Amino acid sequence: MKAKPKVIKYVEWLNADVMHEASRRWLSELRFIKDEQQFFENLIKSYTLQLIESPHFANSKKLIKILSTLKKKNKVLIETVKTHENELLILVDGIDQLKEEEAYKNKHRVLIIEMNKYFKDYKDLKKYLFETIERIMKNEKQKRLLQ
Protein backbone atom coordinates (compact mmCIF):
# COMPACT_ATOMS: atom_id res chain seq x y z
CA MET A 1 0.00 0.00 0.00
CA LYS A 2 1.45 3.35 -1.02
CA ALA A 3 1.31 6.29 1.28
CA LYS A 4 -0.32 9.41 -0.07
CA PRO A 5 2.07 12.32 -0.42
CA LYS A 6 1.48 14.96 2.19
CA VAL A 7 0.62 18.41 1.04
CA ILE A 8 2.27 20.80 3.41
CA LYS A 9 0.74 24.21 3.51
CA TYR A 10 2.98 26.85 4.98
CA VAL A 11 0.89 29.45 6.72
CA GLU A 12 2.66 32.41 8.16
CA TRP A 13 0.92 34.35 10.86
CA LEU A 14 0.33 37.78 9.41
CA ASN A 15 -0.28 40.76 11.61
CA ALA A 16 -1.78 44.05 10.50
CA ASP A 17 1.58 45.83 10.27
CA VAL A 18 3.11 43.18 8.01
CA MET A 19 0.06 43.15 5.73
CA HIS A 20 -0.05 46.95 5.62
CA GLU A 21 3.63 47.14 4.67
CA ALA A 22 3.20 44.46 1.99
CA SER A 23 0.22 46.30 0.52
CA ARG A 24 2.11 49.62 0.46
CA ARG A 25 5.09 47.95 -1.23
CA TRP A 26 2.86 46.29 -3.83
CA LEU A 27 1.14 49.58 -4.57
CA SER A 28 4.48 51.32 -4.97
CA GLU A 29 5.81 48.62 -7.30
CA LEU A 30 2.61 48.57 -9.36
CA ARG A 31 2.73 52.34 -9.82
CA PHE A 32 6.37 52.13 -10.88
CA ILE A 33 5.49 49.35 -13.34
CA LYS A 34 2.71 51.53 -14.74
CA ASP A 35 5.26 54.25 -15.54
CA GLU A 36 7.69 51.68 -16.89
CA GLN A 37 5.01 50.26 -19.17
CA GLN A 38 4.49 53.71 -20.65
CA PHE A 39 8.23 53.83 -21.34
CA PHE A 40 8.03 50.43 -23.02
CA GLU A 41 5.16 51.60 -25.22
CA ASN A 42 7.21 54.61 -26.29
CA LEU A 43 10.20 52.35 -26.95
CA ILE A 44 8.05 50.09 -29.11
CA LYS A 45 6.72 53.12 -30.99
CA SER A 46 10.24 54.32 -31.71
CA TYR A 47 11.13 50.91 -33.20
CA THR A 48 7.81 50.32 -34.97
CA LEU A 49 9.25 50.06 -38.47
CA GLN A 50 11.85 47.52 -37.42
CA LEU A 51 9.36 45.56 -35.33
CA ILE A 52 6.94 45.09 -38.23
CA GLU A 53 9.61 43.74 -40.56
CA SER A 54 9.04 40.09 -41.35
CA PRO A 55 11.78 38.54 -39.16
CA HIS A 56 10.49 40.31 -36.04
CA PHE A 57 6.78 40.57 -36.76
CA ALA A 58 5.62 37.43 -34.91
CA ASN A 59 7.71 38.28 -31.84
CA SER A 60 6.52 41.87 -31.92
CA LYS A 61 2.90 40.88 -32.11
CA LYS A 62 3.33 38.54 -29.14
CA LEU A 63 5.24 41.20 -27.21
CA ILE A 64 2.59 43.86 -27.71
CA LYS A 65 -0.18 41.46 -26.74
CA ILE A 66 1.61 40.50 -23.50
CA LEU A 67 2.35 44.14 -22.68
CA SER A 68 -1.28 45.09 -23.25
CA THR A 69 -2.51 42.22 -21.06
CA LEU A 70 -0.11 43.08 -18.25
CA LYS A 71 -1.03 46.76 -18.48
CA LYS A 72 -4.72 45.92 -18.02
CA LYS A 73 -3.86 43.54 -15.17
CA ASN A 74 -1.80 46.29 -13.53
CA LYS A 75 -4.83 48.62 -13.44
CA VAL A 76 -6.94 45.89 -11.86
CA LEU A 77 -4.25 45.03 -9.31
CA ILE A 78 -3.78 48.67 -8.30
CA GLU A 79 -7.48 48.98 -7.55
CA THR A 80 -7.53 45.60 -5.78
CA VAL A 81 -4.58 46.52 -3.56
CA LYS A 82 -6.09 49.94 -2.76
CA THR A 83 -9.34 48.27 -1.72
CA HIS A 84 -7.45 45.65 0.25
CA GLU A 85 -5.49 48.39 2.01
CA ASN A 86 -8.71 50.20 2.94
CA GLU A 87 -10.22 46.99 4.31
CA LEU A 88 -7.29 46.62 6.72
CA LEU A 89 -9.43 48.60 9.16
CA ILE A 90 -11.19 45.32 10.01
CA LEU A 91 -8.05 44.11 11.77
CA VAL A 92 -7.16 47.28 13.64
CA ASP A 93 -10.56 48.59 14.72
CA GLY A 94 -10.44 46.78 18.07
CA ILE A 95 -13.69 44.93 17.44
CA ASP A 96 -13.52 41.13 17.35
CA GLN A 97 -14.87 40.08 13.98
CA LEU A 98 -13.26 36.69 13.65
CA LYS A 99 -14.88 35.63 10.36
CA GLU A 100 -14.18 38.95 8.65
CA GLU A 101 -10.61 39.03 9.95
CA GLU A 102 -9.95 35.48 8.77
CA ALA A 103 -11.48 36.29 5.36
CA TYR A 104 -9.20 39.33 5.11
CA LYS A 105 -6.13 37.25 5.94
CA ASN A 106 -7.13 34.61 3.38
CA LYS A 107 -7.63 37.33 0.77
CA HIS A 108 -4.16 38.65 1.62
CA ARG A 109 -2.64 35.18 1.11
CA VAL A 110 -4.33 34.94 -2.27
CA LEU A 111 -3.03 38.40 -3.14
CA ILE A 112 0.52 37.35 -2.22
CA ILE A 113 0.33 34.54 -4.77
CA GLU A 114 -1.30 36.74 -7.40
CA MET A 115 1.23 39.55 -6.95
CA ASN A 116 4.19 37.15 -7.12
CA LYS A 117 2.84 35.69 -10.36
CA TYR A 118 2.27 39.15 -11.84
CA PHE A 119 5.77 40.32 -10.91
CA LYS A 120 7.29 37.18 -12.42
CA ASP A 121 5.28 37.58 -15.64
CA TYR A 122 6.28 41.23 -15.83
CA LYS A 123 9.95 40.39 -15.32
CA ASP A 124 9.71 37.84 -18.14
CA LEU A 125 8.11 40.48 -20.38
CA LYS A 126 10.92 42.94 -19.69
CA LYS A 127 13.54 40.34 -20.53
CA TYR A 128 11.73 39.42 -23.76
CA LEU A 129 11.30 43.08 -24.74
CA PHE A 130 14.92 43.95 -24.17
CA GLU A 131 16.13 40.88 -26.04
CA THR A 132 13.93 41.80 -29.00
CA ILE A 133 15.05 45.43 -29.07
CA GLU A 134 18.67 44.34 -28.66
CA ARG A 135 18.40 42.06 -31.72
CA ILE A 136 16.86 44.90 -33.72
CA MET A 137 19.60 47.30 -32.69
CA LYS A 138 22.29 44.79 -33.67
CA ASN A 139 20.64 44.25 -37.06
CA GLU A 140 20.43 48.00 -37.61
CA LYS A 141 24.09 48.42 -36.72
CA GLN A 142 25.08 45.63 -39.11
CA LYS A 143 23.05 47.21 -41.91
CA ARG A 144 24.81 50.54 -41.37
CA LEU A 145 28.23 48.89 -41.34
CA LEU A 146 27.52 47.11 -44.62
CA GLN A 147 26.48 50.31 -46.39
Structure confidence at residue 15 (pLDDT): 80
Give the C-alpha separation, 47 to 49, whole Å: 6
Structure confidence at residue 8 (pLDDT): 47
Give the C-alpha separation, 2 to 23, whole Å: 43
Does residue 3 register a pLDDT over 70? no
Query: Contact at 8 Å (CB) between 49 and 60?
Result: no
Prediction pTM value = 0.81
Angle at 91 between CA 85 and CA 94, to 5 degrees: 135
Flag the least confident range among 24-33, 39-48, 92-101, 132-141. 92-101
Please tell me which residue, 136 or 65, carries the higher pLDDT value: 65
Does residue 11 register a pLDDT over 60? no
Does residue 121 register a pLDDT over 90? yes
